[in-house]
Amino acid sequence: MSEPYDLVIRNGTVATAADVFQCDIAIREGRIVVLEGSAGQGKQEIDATGKLVLPGGIDSHCHIEQKSSAGVVCADDFYSATVSAAFGGTTTVIPFAAQHRGQSLRQVVRDYHAAAEPKAVIDYAFHLIVSDPSEQVLGQELPALIKDGYTSFKVYMTYDMLKVSDHQMLDILALARREGAFVMIHAENHDMIKWLTERLGEKGLGRPLFHAVAHARIAEGEATNRAIALGELLDAPMLLVHVSAPEATAVIRQAQTRGLKVFAETCPQYVMLTADDLDREGMEGAKYCCSPPPRDSAGQAAIWQGLANGTFQVFSSDHAPYRFDATGKLPKGDKTTFKEVANGVPGLETRLPILFSEGVCKGRIALNQFVALGATNHAKLYGLYPRKGTIAVGADADIAIWDPERRVKITASMLHDDAGYTPYEGRELTGWPITVISRGRVIVDRGRLSAERGSGKFLKCATPDAAKPQGRMVPEIATVGRFSDKPLF
């Protein structure tokens, strides 16, 4: 008789991004080793009858222990953030190692590792935020970091202390194309926002609601269009993060229809919240301030359409938790204007339950799409597939067992992050992950955590296929080859 497996999950309905099937899953040394109708014995067994057995979620956009350019630190550290993620069915996070101007990216990466290693309970990789593309950063640090497994970086088109110019963006896109990395873009037109903010300020209109006025939909649409043009000029693939507006969604769809490698992400706040939430009593609206802001119900419908028709490949939380006090959202108490409110909402734990309940249960997306949007596509886009993001022989045994009928009313007190509030207070959802497994270890089971601090591991990312250029140079650049034997960039 052969040695029993470490863990066997029996009788569940297994779903991947492609299939739904009934089978047992056997796990040994942290990996899936057998998928079959009736697997042999396990030292530990879980009966998943009536449950959905899904790949653990991957959240590829979250801010953890990140300091904003204004010096405000996110409410969660790597422990509370990853515990919260685990309770919501997520087994891998990809937060940012964020460079502020003047900093060495290499040192920034070391600092984030030092923060994550002793605390994370699930596996993690890092994207880089590049705010200072100096010669040193472009010429040495980034190429070396890409080789070391940091193959994606985010650039901002707005925020005074983070934004890069179009010229700098071209440098970054050219480097990504050459070195095998993937660029994520925060697309909002800086000058439109700045100009509107100044005009609103002159009229004394500083309440949180006016954040949604200043960050106009057209500002997102314009910057998205410009970013795509910059990428097209250089034949450089890209991903637009946290897309909220119908205008931006339409521009992305058009680019995809033209065959460009343009990918896109959206987030729970853009299907669950509207600008009316920013207009709540007193300073309450500050809890809902994020950039870009939530739009209106027609905007929500456009985002759902984009999730259903494949315009969006990934659904991420953009978890950016700030406490509702002077240490976070409200540096000047109830005198804080929208310009001073720390931007971002918490959402690591509620991301997948929201997509399941509002998407799958309400018939807007299929179960396979849920798996793709919540896990598989993140792994594919950021170079972690097939180790992460699927249920397959040889993959890490990162699994979430869902009770598809469980009704849950969301309250801040049931969640495990440190934000102290949830934008979804009182919302009722159907479906919740009840058992969560990371590399074969049961880390959450029926409301109990059993993961050790620091048991999460760092993941190096490969160059994703998505980052590979298409070989579709714009004609005038393609013809340069006739005049020079050296590439133009």
- Kindly determine how many residues on this chain lie close enough to bind ligand URP according to the rule CB under 6 A: 9
Residue 318 is a binding residue for ligand URP (CB under 6 A) = yes
Binds ligand URP by CB under 6 A, chosen from 39, 290, 365, 373: 290
Residue 63 is a binding residue for ligand URP (CB under 6 A) = yes
Smallest distance, Å, CB 291 to ligand URP? Answer: 4
Residue 323 is a binding residue for ligand URP (CB under 6 A) = no
Smallest distance, Å, CB 320 to Zn ion? Answer: 5
Q: Which of 7, 25, 4 is nearest to 16 (CA)?
A: 25
The kind and range of the H/E element at 372 are: none
Q: Which residues contact 151 (CB under 8 A, 6 or more apart)?
A: 180, 181, 182, 382, 383, 461, 462, 463, 464, 467
Contact present, 153 and 142 (Cβ < 8 Å)? yes
Residue 59 is a binding residue for Zn ion (CB under 5 A) = no
Residue 88 is a binding residue for ligand URP (CB under 6 A) = no
Residue with Cβ nearer Zn ion (186 or 207): 186
Radius of gyration of the chain (CA): 22
Parallel, antiparallel or unpaired: strands 52-55 and 5-15: parallel
Look at residue 252 and give its three-state secondary structure.
helix
Q: Which tokens hold the place of 310? A: 């494949």
Contact present, 332 and 325 (Cβ < 8 Å)? no
Q: Which residues contact 107 (CB under 8 A, 6 or more apart)?
A: none
The pattern of x and - marking residues 184 through 203 that bind ligand URP according to CB under 6 A reads --x-----------------
Report how far residue 472's alpha carbon sits from residue 68's, in angstroms, rounded to the nearest whole number: 37
Smallest distance, Å, CB 403 to ligand URP? Answer: 31
Question: Out of Zn ion, ligand URP, none, which partner does residue 343 contact, by CB within 5 to 8 A per kind?
Answer: ligand URP
Smallest distance, Å, CB 66 to Zn ion? Answer: 9
Residue 387 is a binding residue for ligand URP (CB under 6 A) = no
Report how far residue 334's alpha carbon sits from residue 354's, in angstroms, rounded to the nearest whole number: 31
Smallest distance, Å, CB 186 to Zn ion? Answer: 3
Residue with Cβ nearer Zn ion (163 or 364): 163
Q: Which tokens hold the place of 398? A: 């990162």
Q: Which tokens hold the place of 342? A: 């720390």
Residue with Cβ nearer ligand URP (341 or 437): 341
Residue with Cβ nearer Zn ion (186 or 217): 186
Question: Out of Zn ion, ligand URP, none, which partner does residue 237 contact, by CB within 5 to 8 A per kind?
Answer: none
CA angle 373, 315, 384 (to 5 degrees): 60
Smallest distance, Å, CB 470 to ligand URP? Answer: 27
Residue 416 is a binding residue for ligand URP (CB under 6 A) = no
Residue with Cβ nearer ligand URP (318 or 417): 318
Residue 287 is a binding residue for ligand URP (CB under 6 A) = no
Binds ligand URP by CB under 6 A, chosen from 224, 343, 377, 435: 343
Per CB under 5 A, contacts with Zn ion among 268-327 are: 318
Binds Zn ion by CB under 5 A, chosen from 119, 127, 186, 295: 186
Smallest distance, Å, CB 318 to ligand URP? Answer: 5
Residue with Cβ nearer Zn ion (186 or 295): 186
Residue 320 is a binding residue for ligand URP (CB under 6 A) = yes
Residue 351 is a binding residue for ligand URP (CB under 6 A) = no
Q: Which of 330, 352, 358, 356 is nearest to 342 (CA)?
A: 330
Per CB under 6 A, contacts with ligand URP among 237-256 are: 242
Q: Which of 7, 9, 18, 14 is nearest to 372 (CA)?
A: 18
Residue with Cβ nearer Zn ion (318 or 417): 318
> Which residue type is seen at 212?
A
Residue with Cβ nearer ligand URP (17 or 240): 240
Residue 247 is a binding residue for Zn ion (CB under 5 A) = no
Q: Which residues contact 301 (CB under 8 A, 6 or more apart)?
A: none
Look at residue 229 and give its three-state secondary structure.
helix
Residue 127 is a binding residue for ligand URP (CB under 6 A) = no
Report how far residue 372's alpha carbon sits from residue 307's, in angstroms, rounded to the nearest whole number: 11
Residue 340: C-alpha distances to residues 194, 213, 258 (Å): 13, 15, 40
Residue 460: C-alpha distances to residues 55, 146, 260, 421, 467 (Å): 19, 10, 27, 33, 16
Chain positions contacting ligand URP, by CB under 6 A: 63, 186, 242, 290-291, 318, 320, 343-344
Chain positions contacting Zn ion, by CB under 5 A: 186, 318
